[in-house]
Amino acid sequence: MKKSLVRTSVFVVALLLPALLARPALAGIFNPETFTLSNGMQVVVIESHRAPVVKHMVWYKVGSADEAPGESGIAHLLEHLMFKGTKTVPQGAFSAAVARNGGQENAFTSYDYTAYHQTIAKDRLEMVMRMEADRMTHLQISEEQVAPERMVVLEERRSRVDNNPSSQLSEQVNAALYLNYPYRRPIIGWEHEIRALDVDRILAFYKRYYAPNNAVLIVEGDVTVDEIKTLAEKYYGVIPRGPDIERNRTIEPPSRADKRVSLAHERVQQPSWSRTYLAPSYHYGETKHAYALQVLEEILGGGPSARLYKSLVLDQAIAHSAGAFYGANDIGPSTFGFYASPKEGVSFEAIEKAITAEIATLLKDGVTDKEVADVTERVKNKLVFARDDFGTAARVFGQALTTGSSIEDVESWGDRMAAVTADDVMAAARLVLDGTYSVTAELRNKPQS
């Protein structure tokens, strides 16, 4: 059973969702229907009748940023342990049943949510819904089960982070960038804290956060609202409501200094340079700038015609790649930044000088109305086809609804983005890039001795 961590810029869901949530769409592109069960569980149905297949997802409004101090990694470890079984569905039976019936399943943990999903034939939907509802409240785990799974997670950390220079550097950048906000901790957790997680702490976390009123059920595929309402009430509607959860997050204080992080490692094959700034998201800080920052990201880093690629890769020929990144979907402060991979013989100083010059030109001369219009039109054209990508809608709405956005927010993205002007883009650029503090990171090769 493959399980995964998710951060906006890293894994599949994080790569997919910002592209759809954070860019313009046509109003009504997915056309979902929604209702709420009596126990507080929201249900979203996206009908797609092209094939007798459904995607069933349960999203919990809890992620690693909701962990208590000293318990980093508990959300992700619980995700693993959710496959250990219940009294009626013993260990391994859930996954075996899905596979036996031709389906696929997985789960992932992020800073702000945890999700479990199955893709399966329509006539097997009731089976997976019954089993998923069962483990929402009836998970059975013992220390004998926790101990080996803890070792699995520690090995996952060793392979993904400790043996991966890029991941090591990313952890250090986050720790330097966020002074107080829980995004500074890795989703997978710190090794010494993972080792300390025991069955009592894990079950307390499970009982607090895994409840219908803290979850969203999303079903996409060959179904109707009436069909889902009947099944959802039968399996999820009978689960008692849990405690009301208020996600009280810490506030990020202002930074007072630029920071630099450098890592040299013999496993680095391609050096890289980046600069990262804190930025507003849809739900934190000066949120009015989030839409304009998405347009700015495209103008600076959205492909071969973008400013950074054109300047560093094509015109100056000093980099293999160059671009910008931004994610607006976080509950807390997000990041805006730049990256480049220098060509052999090109110094980090040359890369930094070139990108700094591009930023200075941006802040001095601004962006044009045509650049803004081109971005809006280009992304809109891509998103016309979004509804044809099965499973996309379920992931988009899952992330939106677990991080504070609404269905209307997603469905009206096109109108909101079309309203962004060149002046809006420059106001956002000056807020994030002009005089604010950043973390500059260098990943270089260390010759073996």
Dist CA 295 CA 23 (whole Å):
8
Using the structure block, give the residue that is written with the tokens 């949510």. Answer: 113
CA 263 to each of CA 46, 184, 321: distance values in angstroms, whole numbers, following the listed order: 45, 18, 20
CA 422 to each of CA 45, 278, 415, 425, 442: distance values in angstroms, whole numbers, following the listed order: 37, 21, 16, 5, 32
Q: How many CB atoms lie within 10 A of CB 84?
A: 18
Q: What angle do CA 414, 415, 418 make, to 5 degrees?
A: 80
Dist CA 220 CA 57 (whole Å):
9
Dist CA 430 CA 423 (whole Å):
11
Amino acid making up residue 354: A
Q: Which residues are catalytic?
A: 79
Dist CA 19 CA 396 (whole Å):
10
The phi, psi pair for 443, rounded to 5°, reads: -115, 115
Amino acid making up residue 51: A
Give one word for 386, left, alpha or beta, with left for phi > 0 and alpha for psi -120 to 50.
Answer: alpha
Dist CA 388 CA 406 (whole Å):
22
Half-sphere exposure of 377 (CA within 13 A, CB side): 6
CA 331 to chain centroid: 11
How would you list the strands of the sheet with 3-5, edge to edge? Answer: 3-5, 104-109, 114-121, 53-60, 215-221, 42-47, 33-36
Dist CA 25 CA 30 (whole Å):
10
Dist CA 219 CA 232 (whole Å):
10
The phi, psi pair for 30, rounded to 5°, reads: -100, -25
Half-sphere exposure of 40 (CA within 13 A, CB side): 14
Q: How long a stretch of residues is the chain?
A: 449
What's the sign of the alpha-carbon dihedral 45, 47, 53, 55? negative
